[in-house]
């Protein structure tokens, strides 16, 4: 399928799938694009999608970007899920270690230039892994941030050059937590300690009552996204 054919198909399917269940969207995605992958951050939305994928298409590749700066609870969540589902999470790592980064850019690049740090530890590894696939699935939701408000259930990702599925784009946080409870899904225990959104330990703090759920990400800087989602 060339790009024009994909664009036409996506336009039609984006409308058709808008009211479909996430499971039906995943089913159509994996049947239409067998060379597909899911990007897992082990946050609440992503553990829901891992659970759905295990029920709908357990052989689909699931990868995570290992920045080397995740909380220990995030790595523990990965291991508990891998055990529970008998699956492997493909680890995608940066081209330089944290020691090499410190030598080249200084000890705390995330403070001095978080965009550069994310470019090295997230965007380049994501670009590399996505270049091997025709489509990817993400757990982004429209109400997470203004930058995500226009996400479609299926769209063409021009940044990375492949089809992108956002099966729970219209879900609320409550929908996510209802699914987790009803399906007994493993989740990162930091969510119970006022971390609604979890990234690298260096750039994530707990939020205060009344704060925006993403206020704990890159707190004190203008940055709001890693650069993974337009
Ligand atoms: S979230 Fe922070 S530590 Fe992680 S890659 Fe981005 S800037 Fe670096």
Tokens of 213: 């759920």
Model confidence, pTM? 0.91
CA of residue 203 to ligand 1 center, whole Å:
6
Q: How far is CA 15 from the centre of its chain?
A: 23
Q: Note whether residue 176 is domain-resident.
A: yes
Q: Which of 119, 175, 134 lies closest to 34 in space, CA to CA?
A: 134
The residue segments making up the domain with residue 60 are 3-190
Q: Are 130 and 162 in contact (CB under 8 A)?
A: yes
pLDDT of residue 226: 67
Q: Is residue 15 part of a domain?
A: yes
Q: Say if 160 falls within a structural domain.
A: yes
In the chain, the number of structural domains is 1
**Nearest residue by C-alpha to atom 6 in ligand 1:** 118
Residue 106 belongs to a domain: yes
198: in domain? no
Is 40 annotated in a binding site? The answer is: no
pLDDT of residue 147: 84
Residue 65, Cβ density class (10 Å: 0-12 exposed, 13-18 middle, ≥19 buried):
buried
- Substitution site in 68, 69, 126 for ligand 1 pocket (most atoms within 8 Å of beta carbon): 69
CATH number at residue 29: 3.40.50.620
Tell whether 229 is covered by a domain.
no
Task: Measure 187 CA to ligand 1 centroid, in angstroms.
Answer: 22
Q: Which pLDDT tens digit goes with each residue over 168-198?
A: 999 999 999 999 999 999 999 999 999 998 9
Residue 31 domain-assigned?
Answer: yes
What's residue 225's pLDDT?
Answer: 66
Assess if residue 205 is contained within a domain. no
Nearest ligand 1 atom to alpha carbon 217: 1
**Which residue, judged by its Cα, is nearest atom 5 of ligand 1?**
118
The pLDDT assigned to 223 comes to 66
Low-confidence stretches of the chain (pLDDT < 50) are: none
CB of 117 within 6 A of ligand 1: the answer is yes
Q: Is 203 annotated as a binding residue?
A: yes
Would you say the CB of residue 105 lies under 6 angstroms from ligand 1? no
pLDDT single digits (tens) 21-31: 999 999 999 99
């Amino acid at each position: 399928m060339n790009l024009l054919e994909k664009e036409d198909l996506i336009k039609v399917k984006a409308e058709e799938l808008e009211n479909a269940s996430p499971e039906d969207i995943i089913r159509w995605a994996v049947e239409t694009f067998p060379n597909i992958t899911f990007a897992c951050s082990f946050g609440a939305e992503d553990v829901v999608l891992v659970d759905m994928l295990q029920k709908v298409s357990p052989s689909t590749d699931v990868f995570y970007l290992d920045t080397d700066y995740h909380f220990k609870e995030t790595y523990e969540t990965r291991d508990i899920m891998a055990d529970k589902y008998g699956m492997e999470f493909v680890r995608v790592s940066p081209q330089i270690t944290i020691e090499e980064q410190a030598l080249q850019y200084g000890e705390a690049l995330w403070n001095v230039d978080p965009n550069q740090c994310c470019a090295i530890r997230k965007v380049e590894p994501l670009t590399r892994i996505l270049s091997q696939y025709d489509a990817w699935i993400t757990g982004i939701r429209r109400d997470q941030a203004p930058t995500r408000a226009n996400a479609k259930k299926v769209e063409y990702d021009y940044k990375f050059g492949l089809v992108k599925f956002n099966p729970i784009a219209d879900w609320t946080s409550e929908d996510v937590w209802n699914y987790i409870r009803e399906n007994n899904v493993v989740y990162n225990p930091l969510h119970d300690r006022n971390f609604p959104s979890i990234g690298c330990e260096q750039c994530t703090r707990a939020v205060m009552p009344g704060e925006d759920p993403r206020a704990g990400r890159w707190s004190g800087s203008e940055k709001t996204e890693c650069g993974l989602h337009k």
